[in-house]
Structure formats: structure tokens, C-alpha cells
Amino acid sequence: MKRNGILNSDVSRVLSYMGHTDQIAIGDCGLPIPDSTERIDLALAFGEPPFLRVLELVLQDMKVEKIILAEEITDQNPDMLAKIQALFKGQKVDVEFVPHTAFKAKTADCKAVIRTGETTPYANIILQSGCIFAD
């Protein structure tokens, strides 16, 4: 039995096969997921698990060089945006804001989308994998 890190076998598997510039998304419970993209459904009930907790755990197992957010988060969910920004404080991570419609289209290029139980608006992020041996 695994002792450390993410216990969910699907999340662990996807993270382990990601390479530099590959992307994975973490979304709220309402984010549409393209049929062509793997869905890892963690949602148990409204609010469970929360988006931020899933993001925190994924960040412990993944080096991120870029994040993509829906620009609507700035007006519709500024508290969540502040919490996301706090997680990346002091790190060299590029941030890109795109319209939510473009964000949803970008999930088709992700290795997977992790669905959480989050119910606050625009609590979605795309994480682009960095290179673990180059800085």
C-alpha cells in the first residue's frame, strides 16, 4: 500500500506519466469535460472534496510552470483567485487568463480533468507541467 502522496490511483497515474508542458485540469462540479479527455471524478457531494484542497494535494506531486484560469474568476470569485495566487506565491509560474469559453475548449488538450465537488463559480484551473530537472 502506498505510504505518501496522492492515494487516488487515477490521479497518481496521470501525474506519473505527464511530461514537460503536458496539462491537467482541476474543475468544479459543473465544468463540462470533453468526451475525448479522461475524467477523474472525485465529487462526492456539493462542496466535497473542495477544489482548493485537491489543488493543494496535486501541487505537492507536480511541478507547475504555468497556470490557466478563466478571466471571469477575477470578478465572479475573487476570494478563490486570491487563494490560488497564495499557493503560487514566490514561485516562478506564468499565469494566463482566458475567457471561460476558451478555458473549456482548452480542457480537450489536457491529459485529464479532475472533477471536484466545488460549487463556487469559475473554480477551475489548468496546470502545465514544468521540467523537474531544469530551473
Residue 84 has a pLDDT of: 98
SS3 sequence of the chain? CCCCCCCCHHHHHHHHHCCCCCEEEEECCCCCCCCCCEEEECCCECCECCHHHHHHHHHHHCCEEEEEEECCHHHHCHHHHHHHHHHCCCCCCEEEEECHHHHHHHHHHCCEEEECCCCCCCCCEEEEECCCCCC
Residue 132 has a pLDDT of: 86
Residue 2 has a pLDDT of: 77
Q: Is 18 exposed, middle or buried (0-12, 13-18, 19+ CB in 10 A)?
A: buried
Residue 127 has a pLDDT of: 98
Residue 65 has a pLDDT of: 97
Identify the segments of the chain with pLDDT beneath 70.
134-135
Domains in the chain: ranges and CATH: 9-129 (3.40.1650.10)
Is 132 marked active-site? no
Residue 100 marked ligand-binding:
yes
Q: List the one residue out of 12, 11, 8 whose CA is nearest residue 39.
A: 11
Instruction: Write down the pTM of the prediction.
Output: 0.96
pLDDT tens profile 29-52: 999 999 999 999 999 999 999 999
Residue 77 marked ligand-binding:
no
Residue 122 marked ligand-binding:
yes
Catalytic residue among 9, 16, 20, 91: 20
